[in-house]
Amino acid sequence: MSSFTPTERTQVKRLPKRGAYDRETVFKILDEGFVCHVGFVVDGQPYVIPTNYGRSGDTLYLHGSAASRMLRTLSEGIPVCVTVTLVDGLVLARSAFHHSVNYRSVVALGTARLVDDPREKREALRLFTEHIMKGRWDDIRQPSEQEMKATTVLALPLEEVSAKVRSGGPIDDEEDYALGMWAGVLPLSVTPAAPVPDLRLPAGTEVPGYMKSYKR
């Protein structure tokens, strides 16, 4: 299927025209983002934890220390909500009420499973690395067995998912268009600066080509 089926929990109800359920939109947002926020409840106490992630098809992978309370808790099968948000611009209207933000976001609901298959776990770690910097995995030392044991990986099936997107300029009240102040959009983007070498990097070590051409 090319689209996720909206559910009562993922159907965008406020400004439904901004809702998107096609896989292309959802995957583009996930693949461009760096950080997701993981929401869950333990003994009545809600938590929202920021973390990195990786994606393979319809599966989102989370990882961290084997001592992580979040990962230990989620591996027990409790419901989880994962969100990713990209901010594309500041929308400056003529009135304070109509100021907004252009954004793309994804919400995924479900239950994560513990990844205990060594091959899937190693592939997930490769995905995390490649998600940060494509081409990096083949340049670096692979995880040792001890490092694998010290790392927990969870897999969240992307089944109950929706995206929401706002784009374009401000939408003001008709009578406010006659006001004299500036209105419009200030675009925002991730722009890499020059790479900063590690202090212990041998002199003359060349910056990898994939870093020179990096973009999201």
- pLDDT by residue (tens digit) across 30-39? 999 999 999 9
Residue 69 reports pLDDT greater than 90: no
Per-domain boundaries in the chain: 16-171+200-212
- Mean pLDDT for the stretch of residues 179-205: 95
Q: What percent of the chain has pLDDT over 70?
A: 100
Looking at beta carbons, which pairs linking 71-75 to residues 24 or more positions away fall under 8 Å? 71/152, 71/154, 72/152, 73/40, 73/42, 74/38, 74/40, 74/112, 74/154, 75/112, 75/113, 75/114, 75/152, 75/154
Sorting pLDDT into bands at 50, 70 and 90, what band is 185? very high
Query: pLDDT tens, 89-128?
Result: 999 999 999 999 999 999 999 999 999 999 999 999 999 9
What's the CATH code, domain 16-171+200-212? 2.30.110.10
